[in-house]
């Protein structure tokens, strides 16, 4: 394994951890082997089908379609998942992967950022949306558009603004 492949594997560990923590997506007592199979298939789908589209800038509409596509892809994993992963978890998964790949210089700047509680606190006082239960494109886009205002005030892109404002718990 070369250095870049090592870093990509680490990125996926962080991506799955960040997207699936506190989400309760798995059927109880699902074996780790089945969970690993699911994550490997999902990673393959995202790497082979989705990420290649981000070598160039992607519109909001295209980005939303890719997020929905990830949710739809997970519908075939009924033996592992309680239900297909929802929009909120899918956006966190894709946006985290895009952020990491962008930071490594492997993809162009992502159109959005991972929406979660931490970044919402930078945008809003209250009420915050539980991103693991977020299933509304309109609510998601409201968060993105509100952040765009803040980014523009600082002469930053969305991705740059989030990177400056991100703080790990």
The list of the chain residues with pLDDT below 50 reads none
Give 18's Cβ-side CA count (13 Å radius).
Answer: 24
Instruction: Collapse the DSSP code of 154 into the 3-class scheme (helix H, G, I; strand E, B; otherwise coil) and give the result.
Output: coil
Instruction: Collapse the DSSP code of 83 into the 3-class scheme (helix H, G, I; strand E, B; otherwise coil) and give the result.
Output: coil
The pLDDT tens digits of the residues spanning 45-93 come to 999 999 999 999 999 999 999 999 999 999 999 999 999 999 999 999 9
What pLDDT score does 125 carry? 66
Q: Which two tokens stand for residue 45?
A: 């789908």
Task: Give the end-to-end CA distance of the chain in Å, rounded to a whole number.
Answer: 31
For residue 85, count CB atoms less than 10 angstroms from its CB and return exposed for 0-12, middle for 13-18, buried for 19 or more: buried
What share of residues in the chain are helix, strand, coil (percent, to 5)? 65, 0, 35
What pLDDT score does 35 carry? 97
Residue pair 47/90 in contact (Cβ under 8 Å)? The answer is: no
What pLDDT score does 152 carry? 97
What pLDDT score does 124 carry? 80
Instruction: Collapse the DSSP code of 107 into the 3-class scheme (helix H, G, I; strand E, B; otherwise coil) and give the result.
Output: coil
Residue pair 77/38 in contact (Cβ under 8 Å)? The answer is: yes
Separation CA 109–CA 99 (nearest Å)? 8
What pLDDT score does 22 carry? 83
């Amino acid at each position: 394994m070369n250095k870049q492949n090592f870093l990509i594997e680490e990125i996926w560990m962080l991506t799955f951890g960040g997207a699936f923590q506190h989400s309760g997506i798995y059927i109880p007592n699902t074996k780790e082997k089945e969970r690993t199979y699911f994550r490997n298939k999902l990673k393959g789908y995202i790497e082979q089908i989705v990420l290649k589209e981000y070598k160039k800038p992607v519109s909001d509409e295209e980005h939303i379609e890719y997020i929905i596509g990830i949710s739809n892809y997970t519908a075939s994993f009924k033996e592992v998942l309680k239900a297909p992963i929802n929009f909120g978890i899918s956006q966190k998964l894709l946006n985290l992967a895009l952020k990491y790949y962008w930071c490594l210089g492997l993809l162009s700047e992502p159109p959005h950022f991972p929406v979660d509680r931490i970044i919402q606190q930078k945008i809003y006082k209250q009420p915050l949306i539980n991103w693991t239960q977020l299933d509304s494109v309109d609510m998601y886009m409201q968060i993105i558009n509100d952040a765009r205002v803040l980014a523009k005030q600082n002469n930053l892109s969305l991705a740059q603004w989030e990177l400056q404002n991100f703080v790990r718990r």
